[in-house]
């Protein structure tokens, strides 16, 4: 992590002159691919949730 800060140019907020070079792009965690099993489980959980949210009130009405 310390190397990330060493790569950035010095910046003084009181000095309106921008840094000599552009700061590096922000790096975030890479997105991992979902497996078909994970997609299927997520879809089924969504369907069950929708059935409970909309089906239960219809059954009780």
* pLDDT at residue number 39: 93
pTM of the entire predicted model: 0.46
User: Among the ranges 3-7, 45-49, 52-56, which has the highest mean pLDDT value?
Assistant: 45-49
Residues 6+ apart with CB under 8 A from 21: 9
Q: Check if the beta carbon of residue 6 is closer than 8 Å to that of residue 23.
A: no
Phi, psi (deg, nearest 5) at residue 22: -70, 135
Domain residue extents for the chain: 2-60
Arithmetic mean of pLDDT, 38-42: 95
Higher per-residue confidence, 8 vs 4: 8
What distance in Å separates the CA atoms of residue 42 and residue 36, rounded to the nearest whole number? 10
């Amino acid at each position: 992590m310390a190397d990330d800060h060493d790569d950035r140019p010095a910046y003084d907020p009181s000095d309106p002159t921008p840094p000599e070079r552009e700061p590096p792009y922000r790096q975030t965690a890479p997105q991992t691919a979902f497996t078909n099993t994970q997609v299927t489980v997520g879809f089924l959980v969504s369907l069950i949730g929708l059935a409970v949210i909309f089906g239960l009130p219809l059954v009780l009405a």
